[in-house]
Every structure is written in structure tokens, then in C-alpha cells.
Structure 1
Amino acid sequence: MSQQKGSPQKLERGLTGRHVEMIALGGTIGTGLFLGAGRSISAAGPAILLVYIIVGLFMFWMMRALGELLLTDPNRATFVGFIEKYVGPKAGFIIGWTYWIGWITIAMAELTAVGNYMSFWFPNIPIWIWELCFLAILYGINIIAVAAFGETEFWFSMIKIIAILAMIATGVIMMVLHTKTSSGVTTISNLWQHGFVAHGGRHLLSAFQMVFFAFLGIEFVGMTAAEAQDPYKNIPKAINSIIVRILIFYVGALIAIMCIQPWTNYSAGKSPFVQVFSGIGVTGAAGIINFVVLTAAASSLNSAIFTTGRMLFSLSEGKGYAGKLNRRYIPFNAINISTALIALAVVLNFFFPKNAFDLVTSIASAAFVVMYAVLVFAHVKYRRTADFKNGQQLFKMPGAPVTNYLTIAFLIGIFLILLFTPETMPTTVLALVWFVIMIIISLRIKSKK
């Protein structure tokens, strides 16, 4: 399966426009909306709508910075190459390996989640059997062709979209009909009748980090540029539609949820989707939402196999086993290594409590804040080079460099919230320790060279 000598180290462009758009959409919609919205509504009340809009704006600016970088060289296997080029090799080394390890741990957690979601219907079948089955299927999809991966992500995203549109449609119909519920009448005034900001705003800052985590993975579309058909058309189209998707899918769904019944009726520990559909008499509402979150977890796992394979290939390109493509121009060896590490979750679940993965993924999530900030900083550095001044200047980031600095300041603010919030302080400190270790390793590698 190894690539033949003399063949080009170039990934196949097998992702169509609809694949790229749905991958971008899938990166912004995950279990954070379906399961975590109850917690964020309880923390902020209807003010959570403004939090989503604010965070969404900064995420859009980050993606526009990424988009401008991608179109300067859409043949790069990953966006980390731009960090290496404009911030420095050490920064590229640190961010690249952190991103790879981060997605490996996220994949392990998602694989565990898949097993748990399947046990909802099949409680007597061991979870590890479902984990192996899903991992084997998604691994097979990833090594067939990049188009197979794109098609799978297309349908995974479609399921999530249908669930959200069903929620929005339910809310609109119930408001038009003034449908009565156990807590009153469905009306838009439910957004402010019980107060717009929960708890006097005491938990509003913590809501920002909750919403930020819901957007983790939004950068995933940046991993597809080297394999997208007509990237100069499809990448800008996918990125520009992010702000619309945020307004429709996040803000629209949350408005519907809080109009159907007052926000005070939602529990932080339960999915508001389940509570709404159960409340209006949809039989099997819990099972339906369980299927949706199973899809979201499988989508994240599928994306993780794709991402870790491409990232490891990029980090090892032209060097050793992991830095080669096979005859179908897929980083087959890098996917093998990454999938083997992800599969360790099946073994580790026998020996460690399930919350061990929650700890590790929390560290990875805190690290993503740093990675996003470095990515935006790479765009600042790019704008100061001859590449920008003498180049075609395609898909320019609006308002740069002011929007760059505002986005970096926002990300620093999120990191400080994580650092000084008791629940997230330990994992944020561990993320800092990780970066210190990676800096030391990068310096030692440089000194050896």
C-alpha cells in the first residue's frame, strides 16, 4: 500500500463543493448544542443568544483569517504549515503535535461516547463491541477514498440539520397557534417575561467558555483545502456561510427552545431538545435525540480519523513510514498509526474510569484556545510579508489587522476565564504545563540539529 517511488506527495482533490460546505457545517454543530445547551441556558438565560452571536462573530473572523491563508497555498496538507512559515518552525512543531494529540484524545472520548449512546438501546451488549464496530467502519471509509469520507460527513451533517430545523419549525408552529404547554403558552415573550439575564449576570462570563467549546472543530474545514475540488471557490463559500449558519442553527434553535417554554423550566443536566419534544408528546423523544447525538459523536470520530491522519502526514511528510501516500493519494500509513492510538480507548476503558477521558479532552479544549490565537497571529505576520504585498490578495480578512487583534484579545479573555474558573482551572493549568513541555522539546530538537 505504500506509494510508488517517484510519485508525487500530493493529496487527491476528491471533496466536492457540497462536501466542503457540509464539513464546515458539521464543524460548527456538535453535541454542545444538543446536550450542552441546557447548561448554557441555565447559566445565562435568554442572554445566551447574545453570547452565541458574539462568540460566533470572533470565530467567523478567525475563519476568515484562516481562509485568506489557505488560498495563498491551497496545496498545503494542513493549516499548521502557515503557522510554521509565518510564526516559526518551533511554533509549527508545537501547534502541529498539540493539534494531533488533541484530536487523538477527543477521538478516544467520542469513541467512548458512541459505545455509551448505543447502550441506550442495547444495554446488555458490551460497550467495547460497539466501539470496535464503529471504529472499524469509519476507518474503512477513510482509507477507501477522500470522497467516501466527504459523503459520510455530508449525511452525518444532514441528520443534525434536520433535527435543528425540526426544533425551529416546532417552535414557529407552536407560537403561531399559541399552543399551551404545562408551563404556559408558547410565545416569543417567554424570552423576557422571566428576566433576560439569569442570576443577575453572575454566570454570564462562564457562559462564554461554554459557548466557545460548542464551536470547537470549526477550523476543521481548513484541513480539507488540499483535497477540495476548486478550493478558490469552495473554501470561501463554506467560510462565508458560517455566520448565517450560526444565526439559523444555533440562535434560531435556542429562540425556539426558549419560546416554547420559559428558560427557567430547562434543567442544566438534560438536553433541552429531549425536554421540548417529550413535552409536546413526541413518543420516543429521548431515543430520537440519542440517535442525533450518536450521529454527532460518530461525525466527530470520523473527522478525527481524517484530521489526525492528515496532520501526522504533514508533520512527517517525506520522512519515514507516516510521511507517505499510497496509490490512491491517501495518507494510509498516518491513518493507520492514528487509528491504532484511538483504538487504545477500547482497552483503556477497561482499566480507567470514563471521566479520565473527560479530563484529557478538557486539557485539549483549553489548548485549542491557544492554537486559535496562534493561527490568527500567523495571519498578522503574513500580512507583513512580501507574500501578501506582492501576492494576489485573495479572500482578504475584513477589518484586518484590527479584527485580528480583537480576536486574539477575545481568545486571551476565554483562556483567562478558564484559568480563573474553579471547575476548569486544573485542566487549564495542565494545558499550560503541556505547552511548556512542548517548548522545551522543540528547543532540544533545535539544539541537536
Structure 2
Amino acid sequence: MAFRTSNDTSTSRPADPQTESCTQPGAPALGAGLKRRHVTMLAISGAIGAGLFLGAGAGIHTAGPGILISYTLAGLLMVLVMRMLAEMAVAQPNSGSFSVYAEKAFGRWAGFTVGWLYWWLLAVVVAAEATGAAAIAHSWLPTIPQWAFVLAFMAALTGVNLFSVGHFGEFEFWFGAIKVTAVVAFLVLGSLAVFGLLPGAQAVGMTNLTDHGGFLPHGVNGVLTGLLAVVFSFGGMELVTIAAAESPDPSQAVAKTTRTVIVRLLIFYIGSVALMVLLLPWSSASAATSPFVSVLQQIGIPASAALMNVIVLTSLLSALNSNLYGASRMAFSLAQRREAPQVLLHVSSSGVPRRAVLASVSFGFIAVILNFLAPDRVLPFLLNTIGAVILVVWIAIALSQLRLRQMARRTPDHILTVRMWGHPWLSWTALAGMVGVLALMCTDNDARTQLLSTGVLTALILLAAAIRAAWAKNQAQP
């Protein structure tokens, strides 16, 4: 049976190593210190980051008011991906999440490839976020060198991750609460401004949606280009299925979280962008300026730019914290399945894989040091390699769900308590949508470079998987 239920984050040794997980029997287990509110907030805040607060301007500039269609399409795609992932995660919660499901569906090479791709993505993003957060802090306190802020942020959040998963969850809960509060406040203030209910404000109506070239000033091509600009901003929600494995009731945590969080995120994203295009002419949007700041300044909120810097700094530190957590758990899961060095299996008395945490953050430190030595070359190169990784992961999720459901046609309802809607048609629709995003990337110069770099990285990891498999086969021979 492809699906099973278990609250254990590890799995038993299977009979067929080509199609089943190879977790070592008796391998150390992680703790269960995350509360449901931690998991829920991680799911919400994981997809609310600097990409929304800073990146929405580029999308609006590209597509005009039609960016609402771009965000809706991207949001619906993310809904389908999360539903497929929830189906598998509820049936078998695991700290390796989609890497484990890919292994069960297609073999060890798939789990190895997806797991290491995702680990690389998170490790590089940790370095980028530490650099970005340090740049903001340095602008406030220019007498302190930027590298000192990087060291302080990474050391502090590494300490949080090393202590206990409960402390990680608590820090992330309050980081996320700041972001969510900021978005809710923006939605309330923006809505009051739209209807002319703020002091000195007049109702704006639909003028900014119809003037300045109309709702689709750049036509359908603008919407598609805007889709490419915003689709990756929804990345991060998949971390919830990794975190849920360390909660007391993983299946219930995933089921309830994914049912409620998706709707909230769509309201946050689409609601925020709708207010932006209603309150401001789309032609005034710039990739270099946060539309949040522009709207807040227009409705008379003092020190809007400084306030947004605080929120963006919080978002970057939150992402650093959660991505370090996710990278360490993926490394631990790979070690459980003999796809990573066994030294990473060590778990502290509080249930934290400390060596996996240190291994993941060590790469971040190295990347940051290289970035300071060659700031115009190292980080852009590393970021290019991860440009399309999350899309590869989402495609792997869709393929795994289709394959595992096919392998378990008669799975009882008490195991598959969460099922993909309209299976298999909506699963194939989501897969076609992601392939379409890949095609869009081929039409954009910058995105094409990222796609090529991600392709090279994926090929190298696949080569490593083949070498590892050949070595294991040779070792097994008498």
C-alpha cells in the first residue's frame, strides 16, 4: 500500500529499495514540540515575505491592474499543489515530506534528487536573507559593519533552532504575527481609503482600473509576464508539512491547517494587490519601490518607509529562521534514508537534529563570506541556481501524488481523510500549469538564465544519485 498512517517521523525498512523508503530501523526520532498554532502560523507566514511587501510593485508595473489575474492564477495553482501535498502528508506525515513521497512513488533516485534540491534552495536562501536583513540594519546603524549584523542574525537564529523545536515555533509564531498584523492593518486602512472613510479621503471608485490604458494595458502577454513575476512568491507554504511532523498529531495538524490557511493567504495576497491597483495608478508602480509604502504615504500614514523597513526586516529574519529549520529537517530525513552522511542523524535530548542544523547554517555562513569577498558575483550566481527549484519541487509533488494514488486505488477512507479534489483531472491541470510556467520562463532572458542554472544543478544531483546507486549496488555484491 502506498499510503499509510503513522505519527512517527521515520519509516521502517521496506522490501523493495527501488520503490519504497529506506529509513533505517531504529533511527532517532525528532521531537513533537510544535503546537497547532505554531504550524498554522508557519503556513501563513511562510508565504508572506519580502516577495509580497517589495515584489508586488514589479508585477503591477508589468501587468497593470491585470496583475490581479496573475495573482489569482498563481494562487489557484498553489492551492492545487498544497491540496495534493496535504493528501500525502495526512496519510503519512514525515519530516522529509515531498522528498519521501517522491521516493515512494519513483524510487530512491527521486527522493535523493528532490531532497537535496530543496536543501540547496533553503541553504542559499538563508544566506540571501541574512545578507538582506543585514543591509537594512546597516542602513540604520552605518557605524556597525554589515558583516557583524550577518553574524549576529545567523548566530541568534541558529541558537533558536538548536535549543528546541518549541522555541523555534514560538519565535516563528511571533515573527509571523508581525507580518500578518501588518497585512491585516493594510487591508483595513486601504479598504477605508477606497470608500473614503478616512479623514480627508474621498472614495476612489474604479478609476484606476479603467484609466491609464485600461484593465489590461499590456494585454494577455502582460498577465502572463506578471504571472511569472509573482508565482514564486507563494513558495514557502510547503514547509508546513515538514513542520507538522513534529507536532503531537501530525495528520490532524496538516489537515486543519491546509484547509484554513489557503483561503487566508488568497485574501491577503489578492486583497492587498487589489487595494494597490484601486488606490494608485498602476503606471506609478516601480520595481524599486514598495507599493505598500506608496499606498500608506498616500493615505497619510507617517513614517511609512521606515515602518515598511521594520516589517521587511522581520520578514527576512522570519524566512531565515524557518528556512534554516526546513533545511535541517530535510538533511535529517535524507540521513534517515541513507541519502546523506549518517553523522547528521544525531538528535539532542530535546529532539533537535543539531548536527543537521549546524551543517545547514554552515553553508549559509560560507555563502555570506563569499558574498562579501565578491558581492557582484557569488550571491547572484547562487540565486540563479535556485531560480526554478521550487517549481521542480512542485512538479515532483504533483507527479508523486498522481503515482501514489494510482498505486493505492483501494486505499480506505480512514487513511486518505484528505483527498485531492477532482482527481486526477485537477492534478493534471496543476501539472500542466506548472509546465506552462516553465515555458514562460524560456521566453524571458533573466528567467531563462535561472532555468538553465537550475537545470544544470538538477543534472548534477541526478548524476550524484546515479553514482550513489551504482556504489551501493557494488557494495551489495558478494
> Per the shorter chain, which TM-score range?
over 0.9
SS of residue paired to 1:202: helix
- Whichever residue aligns with residue 414 of structure 1, its letter is V
Distance 1:382 1:255 in 2: 38
Instruction: Kindly indicate whether the alpha-carbon contact (under 8 Å) linking 1:171 and 1:259 is maintained by their aligned counterparts in 2.
Output: no
Aligned counterpart for 1:159 among listed residues 168, 178, 186: 178
Aligned counterpart for 1:424 among listed residues 441, 444, 447: 447
- How much does 1:349 deviate? 2.7
Between 314-323 and 92-101, report the one with greater CA deviation.
314-323
- How much does 1:132 deviate? 0.7
Instruction: Kindly indicate whether the alpha-carbon contact (under 8 Å) linking 1:28 and 1:214 is maintained by their aligned counterparts in 2.
Output: yes
Between 320-329 and 197-206, report the one with greater CA deviation.
197-206
Change (3 A) 1:274 1:354: farther
Instruction: Kindly indicate whether the alpha-carbon contact (under 8 Å) linking 2:99 and 2:111 is maintained by their aligned counterparts in 1.
Output: yes
Q: How does 1:353-372 map to 2 (within 5 A)?
A: 353-354=375-376, 356-372=378-394
Tell me the number of residue pairs that the alignment of Structure 1 and Structure 2 aligns: 443
Aligned counterpart for 2:362 among listed residues 337, 340, 349: 340
Aligned counterpart for 2:297 among listed residues 278, 282, 303: 278
Change (3 A) 1:328 1:387: farther
- Whichever residue aligns with residue 155 of structure 1, its letter is W
SS of residue paired to 1:203: helix
SS of residue paired to 1:395: coil
Between 346-355 and 156-165, report the one with greater CA deviation.
346-355
SS of residue paired to 1:241: helix
Aligned counterpart for 2:350 among listed residues 324, 328, 331: 328
TM-score using structure 2 length? 0.88
Q: How does 1:4-403 map to 2 (within 5 A)?
A: 9-177=28-196, 186-194=204-212, 195-317=214-336, 320-354=342-376, 356-386=378-408, 389-390=411-412, 392-403=415-426
Distance 1:90 1:27 in 2: 28
Partner of 1:3: none
Ranges in structure 2 where 5+ consecutive residues have no aligned partner = 1-24, 473-478
- How much does 1:227 deviate? 0.3
SS of residue paired to 2:139: coil
Distance 2:400 2:348 in 1: 31
Distance 1:101 1:168 in 2: 35
Partner of 2:9: none
CA-atom RMSD in angstroms: 2.1
Instruction: Write the deviation string for residues 148-172 of structure 1: whole angstroms up to 9, x where unpaired.
Output: 1111111111111121122211222
Ranges in structure 1 where 5+ consecutive residues have no aligned partner = 1-5
Instruction: Kindly indicate whether the alpha-carbon contact (under 8 Å) linking 2:196 and 2:203 is maintained by their aligned counterparts in 1.
Output: no
Instruction: Kindly indicate whether the alpha-carbon contact (under 8 Å) linking 1:15 and 1:227 is maintained by their aligned counterparts in 2.
Output: yes
SS of residue paired to 2:388: helix
SS of residue paired to 2:283: helix
- Whichever residue aligns with residue 447 of structure 2, its letter is T
Partner of 1:415: 438
- Whichever residue aligns with residue 92 of structure 1, its letter is G
Distance 2:61 2:460 in 1: 37
- How much does 1:261 deviate? 2.3
Change (3 A) 1:187 1:358: farther
Quote the sequence identity (%). Answer: 33
Change (3 A) 1:324 1:79: farther
Instruction: Write the deviation string for residues 108-145 of structure 1: whole angstroms up to 9, x where unpaired.
Output: 11111011111221122111111111111111111111
Instruction: Kindly indicate whether the alpha-carbon contact (under 8 Å) linking 2:398 and 2:427 is maintained by their aligned counterparts in 1.
Output: yes
- Whichever residue aligns with residue 394 of structure 2, its letter is Y
Distance 1:25 1:60 in 2: 13
TM-score using structure 1 length? 0.93
Instruction: Kindly indicate whether the alpha-carbon contact (under 8 Å) linking 2:65 and 2:209 is maintained by their aligned counterparts in 1.
Output: yes
- Whichever residue aligns with residue 49 of structure 2, its letter is G
- Whichever residue aligns with residue 332 of structure 1, its letter is R
